[in-house]
Amino acid sequence: MTYNKFRKGVFVVVYALPGPEYLLLHRKWHWRGWEFPKGGTRAREKIENTVKREVKEETGLGAVSIIPFNEHGSFIYDKRTQHERKVKGFSYRLFAAEVKKGKVKISKKEHDKYKWLPYSKATRVLKWPNQKKSLKTVNKFLKTCGHSKRFKNTP
């Protein structure tokens, strides 16, 4: 069966100051690799609440602040995931969420480990172009909005 719809959701670049350091999660469900928290919006859920919920569900951390970006993207699921979710892929809007660096409680169903990394290392660990672009967008924004004196290891 061919699916045409996309699941709507969010990509959330989670960071902690000073630094910043970015939180990457190692995915083990559906595919293996490093990613940001992400997830679908529920019916009648405000998108900012989706961001808060996904950060909490996937990391156990609460967002101190949320920054929306006018950046959108999408990707196609593999055939198995399309069949499971009854959609073609995932379309997202980019957000950044500042958290206080603390004990991360990963979602064991989806992830098996995590890393806090500076920009220069995080961008090398990420595999997909949309992830790298999202990280670059957030990093550039943080550098230009007054956090630059606290930055280390950024281009």
Confidence (pLDDT) at 21: 96
| Cα–Cα distance, 86 to 81 (Å, whole number) | 8
Overall pTM > 0.95: no
CB-based burial label for 125 (10 Å; 0-12, 13-18, 19+): middle
Asked if 73 and 91 count as a contact pair (C-beta separation under 8 A), the reply is yes
CATH class of 6-142: alpha beta
Q: Is the peptide bond before 18 cis (omega within 30 degrees of 0)?
A: yes
Residues 91-141: tens digit of each pLDDT = 899 999 999 998 899 988 888 999 999 999 999 999 999 999 999 999 999
Confidence of residue 73 (pLDDT cuts 50, 70, 90): confident
